[in-house]
Amino acid sequence: MVKVYKCMICEEGYIGDAKPTHCPFCGAHDNYFVPVDKYVATDVGELSELSKNNLIGALDVEISNAEFYFCATKKADNLADATMFKRLAKVEAEHASTIAKMLKVASPVISRDKTTCNINDADNLKESHEREANAIERYVRFLNEAVEVKVKMLFKALIEIEKDHLSLSEGRF
Among 6, 22, 95, 129, binds Fe ion (CB under 5 A): 95
Rank residues 7 and 102 by Cβ distance to Fe ion and give the closer one. 7
User: Residue 95: which residues within 8 A CB-CB, separation 6 or more?
Assistant: 10, 26, 58, 62, 66, 158, 161
CA nearest neighbour of 99 among 50, 36, 51: 51
Contact criterion met (CB below 8 Å) for 102 and 55: yes
Q: Which stretch binds Fe ion (CB under 5 A): 25-33, 80-88, 114-122, 140-148?
A: 25-33
Give the helix ranges, DSSP H, for the chain: 49-75, 79-103, 121-145, 149-169
Query: Taking the CA of residue 25 as centre, how many other CA atoms within 13 Å lie in the half-sphere pointing to its CB?
Result: 19
In the complex, least distance from residue 92 CB atom to Fe ion, rounded to whole angstroms: 5
CA nearest neighbour of 51 among 119, 151, 140: 151
Among 5, 6, 9, 47, binds Fe ion (CB under 5 A): 9
Among 5, 6, 10, 99, binds Fe ion (CB under 5 A): 10
Under the binding rule (CB under 5 A), the answer on residue 26 touching Fe ion is yes
Among 67, 92, 121, 132, binds Fe ion (CB under 5 A): 92
Rank residues 20 and 120 by Cβ distance to Fe ion and give the closer one. 20
Under the binding rule (CB under 5 A), the answer on residue 93 touching Fe ion is no
Among 5, 6, 14, 25, binds Fe ion (CB under 5 A): 25
Question: How far is it, in rounded angstroms, from Cα 14 to Cα 72?
Answer: 28
Contact residues for Fe ion, defined by CB under 5 A? 7, 9-10, 23, 25-26, 28, 62, 92, 95
